[in-house]
Amino acid sequence: MIRLLPLLLLASSTSWAEEGTTCPSGATELHLEARAERAIANDTLHARLVIEREGSEPAALAEEVNRLANAAMQAARAETALKLTSGGYSTQPVYAPKSRAIDHWRVRHELMLSSADFPAAMRFVARQQEGMGLDGLWFGVSPAARAETETQLMREAAQALKARAEALRQTLEVPRVQLRRIDLNTQGAPRMMMRAAMLAEADGMPPLEVGAGESTVAVQASGTACLLP
């Protein structure tokens, strides 16, 4: 949350000046809300790859999982457009259905992939299918693009709140209105695309092409207005 304190809107001017944080005696206090939003193109692909092995020897399972993870890390480092990081890692016993005895072990390692180069990322995912599975794939907006859009929307939301305060002043025919407090909240979420299916590159066929779509970035503005006699 970003809080701006305070703003003053005069009837004869669009300038802003500092005031206190509460309405003075004799003023009418109102709560106002405004929203600004924009759909922007998703520019980053995210994928969660999972290496999972089961067997009777946990040490041997861990060795195989680690070998596959290290190979994937090395392959990703060779491509500057890709960023691959380690996620969750677990070694768990799997119990027999009718007893509490350990039947075998399961080792699981998650790898998180992100890239602005969609074709390169999809090729990498397809090449890893022999050793791991794709647990989720989605698209989102990069931090830089989101921050730039949010800055623009903050201005728009604040201006919309200011316009509503001025409209109320004119409708109620009072000399001036003060915006004593504005709260700005940003909103937005990545777009989920697919889950639990590997993007095959079998028999020389290229990996599946996907559409990144758009994400909606929004800023919600709320504030307290004082109608002054």
User: Model confidence over 118-146: pLDDT tens digits?
Assistant: 999 999 999 998 899 999 999 999 999 99
Is 94 exposed, middle or buried, given 0-12, 13-18 or 19+ CB atoms closer than 10 A?
exposed
Identify whether residues 91 and 167 lie together within a single domain.
no
Say if residues 215 and 42 touch (Cβ distance below 8 Å): yes
Question: Cβ atoms within 10 A of the Cβ of 44, count?
Answer: 22
DSSP-derived letter for residue 130 is: T
CA–CA separation, 117 vs 203, rounded Å? 24
Identify whether residues 51 and 92 lie together within a single domain.
yes
pLDDT at 20: 57
CA–CA separation, 214 vs 193, rounded Å? 11
pLDDT at 206: 57
Question: How do the residues of the chain divide into helix, strand and coil, expressed in percent and rounded to 5?
Answer: 30, 45, 30
Identify whether residues 90 and 56 lie together within a single domain.
yes
User: Model confidence over 189-223: pLDDT tens digits?
Assistant: 555 555 444 454 444 545 556 677 888 999 999 88
DSSP-derived letter for residue 208 is: P
Name the nearest CA neighbour of 187 among 17, 39, 27, 15: 39
Say if residues 51 and 65 touch (Cβ distance below 8 Å): yes
pLDDT at 13: 23
Identify whether residues 51 and 125 lie together within a single domain.
yes
User: Model confidence over 49-95: pLDDT tens digits?
Assistant: 999 999 999 999 999 999 999 999 999 999 999 999 999 999 999 99
| 79 located within any domain | yes
pLDDT at 83: 97
Residue that is last in its domain, among 98, 120, 140: 140
**Position 229 confidence tier, pLDDT thresholds 50, 70, 90:** confident
Question: Cβ atoms within 10 A of the Cβ of 32, count?
Answer: 20
Residue that is last in its domain, among 77, 109, 140: 140
Is 109 exposed, middle or buried, given 0-12, 13-18 or 19+ CB atoms closer than 10 A?
buried
Identify whether residues 73 and 132 lie together within a single domain.
yes
pLDDT at 66: 97
Identify whether residues 58 and 136 lie together within a single domain.
yes
| 199 located within any domain | no
Residue 162, classed as helix, strand or coil, is helix
Residue that is last in its domain, among 79, 113, 140: 140
Identify whether residues 159 and 223 lie together within a single domain.
yes
| 77 located within any domain | yes
pLDDT at 212: 76
**Position 6 confidence tier, pLDDT thresholds 50, 70, 90:** very low
User: Model confidence over 140-195: pLDDT tens digits?
Assistant: 999 999 999 999 999 999 999 989 988 988 888 888 888 877 888 887 655 555 54
Identify whether residues 56 and 108 lie together within a single domain.
yes
- Average pLDDT of 11-32? 60
pLDDT at 207: 54
| 170 located within any domain | yes
CATH of the domain at 33: 3.30.110.70
pLDDT at 85: 97
CA–CA separation, 166 vs 171, rounded Å? 9
| 210 located within any domain | no
Identify whether residues 130 and 52 lie together within a single domain.
yes
% of the chain with per-residue pLDDT over 70: 81
Q: Which domain holds residue 8?
A: 2-41+144-191+215-228
> In terms of pTM, does the model score above 0.95?
no
Identify whether residues 37 and 149 lie together within a single domain.
yes
pLDDT at 210: 64
Q: Is the pLDDT of residue 102 over 70?
A: yes
Q: How many domains does the chain have?
A: 2
pLDDT at 98: 82
Alpha-carbon Rg for the chain in angstroms = 27
CATH of the domain at 130: 3.30.70.360
